[in-house]
Amino acid sequence: MLTNKQHELLVFIDKHLRETGCSPSFEEMKDALALRSKSGIHRLISALEERGFLKRHKHRARALEVVRLSDDLAPPPERALPRFAPNVIRGDFSGRIQGARAADSVAAVTLPLYGKIAAGLPIEALRDQEEQIEVPAAMLGNGEHFALEVEGDSMIEAGILNGDTVIIRKGDAAENGQIIVALVDENEVTLKRLRRRGQSIALEPANARYETKILPAERVRVQGRLVALLRRY
């Protein structure tokens, strides 16, 4: 499910490609979405690329490719794109997933739910080891996982909404651009996109109303990275 702005940008890029044969400029995208700065467009494109809707071709100017349209868009007959079909991971998760017991060897796995995490402002993590949540086993791979409930709206352009439950693969390593759980100053936890800048780390929101926090690397520890999301309706 895309946010309204992600959906609007994807439609605009697809239409522009079909009508002109080239991708729109950042200025054209900013004007089309009535945003005040191009930084919001950068975040929207990164979110669409991360979720498999867009592809950027490196070393080429204005080179965006629509990989697929969202399920609620009807692709034009002459350029119908395949619908997304998730890859299902099969196997014996009971022996490979640490820190979690198999609720069902194939269908579900029980993970610890570590309370709420702020996606807007950092808050101290609440660790309630007694609370647990069942998630589809196919969402997980190797390693130890845990779940957190999201509070706030600073990651909405990445499709992460207030009240969502994020599934985190525990670990202290993450690549640039990945969404991580970061521990700041050993007592505050936040969910943000990771950007390394020399000896500093930028914790980047996915909402134009929030500012990126840039901190010395020694003040930030990666606790894990986002691998899945659950939402109740």
β 200-204/188-197 pair status = antiparallel
Looking at residue 195, the DSSP 8-state letter turns out to be E
CA 103, 106, 108 angle in degrees (round to 5)?
40
Say which residues have a Cβ less than 8 Å from residue 232's Cβ, sequence separation at least 6: 163
Encoded tokens for 189: 């936890």
CA–CA dist 45, 151 (Å, integer): 23
Q: If residue 184 lies in a helix (H) or strand (E), which one and from where to where?
A: strand 179-184
- Catalytic residue from among 46, 105, 154, 213: 154
Is 192 annotated as catalytic?
A: yes
Amino acid at 148: L
Cβ contact 102:137 at 8 Å: yes
Can you name the residues that pair with 101 across neighbouring β-strands? Answer: 110
Q: What is the 3-state secondary structure (H, E, C) of 64-117?
A: EEECCCCCCCCCCHHHCCCCCCCCCCCCCCCCCEECCEEEECCCEEEEEEEEEE
- Catalytic residue from among 38, 192, 200, 213: 192
Cβ contact 9:45 at 8 Å: yes
Cα of 49 vs its chain's centroid, Å: 10
Catalytic sites, residue numbers? 154, 192
